[in-house]
Chains A and B, each alone.
Chain A
Amino acid sequence: MTVPKLELRDVRKAFDGTPVLEGIDLVVRPHDVICLIGASGSGKSTLLKCVNLLVPIDEGQILLDGEDITAPGVNPNRVRERMGIVFQRFNLFPHMTVLDNITLAPRKVHGATRDEAEARARELLGRFGLEDKADEYPDRLSGGQQQRVAIIRSLATDPELMLLDEVTSALDPELIAEVLDVIRDLKSAGMTMLIATHEMGFARDVADRVCFLDGGVILEQGPPAEIFARPREERTRRFLQRIVEAGRL
């Protein structure tokens, strides 16, 4: 069996004594697209931040390509260079143009020249239909455009793994589709992704596996067809029931 791209072993995290993650075990193989679902406050964002080392874990291990990235002495910057993370909002740097937003990390972290970085940025912008926005400032873009730029910015450093945290939840319904299209595009390009989402239809469509986070653990996981059609756990069933009632599935 191949080495997993990402593996979480019994990851635990508490904030001020309140446990949020209580033993997360998860295996993400190369090219897997995993959707994390779960109620608000169930720890989806925390889990992604732990993987990106933005939040230190209390116990357990996180392995990237079989290497323990939570071991002491690991430089978090080197780890972060290898993954991209996109948050719900407030992502882009408002004082920089779209182009500067995208080229900052390639230039300052990866040592690319400005010309190289800009050529790559324009190529990515073109691929996602944003070539004419290169010189705009973020506040002149729609929410959907901003989120697409944020995804492009993460892609500009050629990450091996993308972490997406509810990237559509701050968007108007008509803008959601364009962002989801970008993610589908990434999936077909073979990107490994860990996605926290409230968009069940999208999860069903794009995920190889859906993980239901509840009570600090992954209570149930499996292919979307199974999870959505025949959830084994009563709590999963109830969660999905509420989503259906809210008209989101």
Chain B
Amino acid sequence: MRASRSGRRGPGLFRSRRSGREEGARAALVAFVSSIVFLAVVGWVVLTSEAWPAVQRQFFSWDHLVASWPAVLGGFWLDVRMFLVAEVLILVIALVVAMIRSLRGPAFFPLRALAVVYIDFIRGVPIILLILLLGFGVPALQLPGVPNSPLFWGLAALVISYSAYTAEVYRAGIESVHESQRMSARSLGLTQMQTIRYVLVPQAIRNVVPALLNGLISLQKDVALVFILGIREGVREAQIYTARTFNYTSYVAATILFLLVSIPVARFTDWYTERDRRRKQAVST
């Protein structure tokens, strides 16, 4: 295994004398140096341009960053909490919808049709429209016994919308499980629901973890859309600061906060997907 791998890397004498670790260290050094050079060139071009002082004043002012930070951070904390609550709900609701959609046979037609209508309908409506509709619309009705906070309905809109997409992710996973697994389970006397729950879904989830993680990254940003309801989350706080000072550094502050969360998740997704791919290759050989 080892021999064949280093053999594939190249026939040169020079290479075969180096160990894998040395090779790795050298590659890292090359990557590091070339990145520094690249950043230096770009930085030099930007910083020496005529427009830079104005750009810096408007977007990258240290004073404004410090001044806006506490409010933006506080708002962002609400984003994080909304994200966590919504994500849990989405993962559960979407799974239920996908399971319903995966039921077969004429007896389940009404349930299945309901799931299809929900998914098609929601996927056809811009998420921002859904947020406006529910977030402003429902509280305006002042229905007794129904929550009338825009925050509640804004989150509900996010959950409803994302669940439709996520249900399709799960369904693709369920359908990727070999048909014989369904048959084996059914032949043992398991009902359809038991088959889906104990046999198909556990295998499906493994297949769709990368896709679910992608959805997670996307949601982590989209929670900010509820700012349109006047909810004082991160983006809204940044907007308020900008409106007061005519300086955009607070938006940069919000940008930094969102990136601090989403980049690690993106890296993790890549790492996980790659590991998964390697494992599958290892099994198939």
Contacts and interface: CB of A to CB of B under 8 A. Distances in A.
B181 A90 contact: yes
Interface in B166-196: 178, 180-181, 183-191, 194
Contacts of A49: 183
A91 interface: yes
Contact of A104 (B180, B183, B190): B190
B198 A54 contact: no
B202 interface: yes
A131 interface: no
Contacts of B186: 54, 80
Interface string B115-139: 0000000000000000000000000
Interface residues of B, number: 19
The residue among B183, B187, B206 with the most chain A CB atoms within 10 A of its own CB is B187
A87 B183 CA distance: 9
A105 B189 contact: yes
B189 A52 contact: no
Nearest to B205: A95
The residue among A52, A80, A95 with the most chain B CB atoms within 10 A of its own CB is A95
B188 A90 contact: no
A168 interface: no
A108 B194 contact: yes
A81 interface: yes
B91 to A, nearest CB: 19
A85 interface: yes
A61 interface: no
Interface string A79-113: 01100110101111111000000001100111000
Interface string B245-283: 000000000000000000000000000000000000001
B181 A108 contact: no
A138 to B, nearest CB: 11
A157 interface: yes
Given A93-B199, A94-B203, A104-B198, A80 B189 contact: yes
A95 B188 contact: no
Interface residues of A, number: 26
B186 to A, nearest CB: 6
B188 A157 contact: yes
Contacts of B178: 90
B190 A93 contact: no
A77 interface: yes
A154 interface: yes
Contacts of B181: 90, 93
Interface string A188-232: 000000000000000000000000000000000000000000000
30 contacts: A54-B186, A80-B186, A80-B187, A80-B188, A81-B189, A84-B187, A85-B187, A87-B183, A89-B180, A90-B180, A90-B181, A90-B184, A91-B184, A92-B184, A93-B181, A93-B199, A94-B203, A95-B202, A95-B203, A95-B206, A104-B188, A104-B198, A105-B188, A108-B194, A108-B198, A109-B194, A110-B189, A139-B283, A153-B188, A157-B188
Name the 7 nearest CB pairs between A and B, nearest first.
A105-B188, A81-B189, A90-B180, A109-B189, A80-B189, A85-B187, A95-B202
Given A77-B190, A93-B181, A105-B190, 13 more contacts: A54-B183, A54-B186, A54-B187, A81-B189, A87-B183, A87-B184, A90-B180, A92-B184, A95-B203, A104-B190, A108-B190, A108-B198, A110-B189
Interface of A: 49, 52, 54, 77-78, 80-81, 84-85, 87, 89-95, 104-105, 108-110, 139, 153-154, 157
Interface of B: 178, 180-181, 183-191, 194, 198-199, 202-203, 206, 283
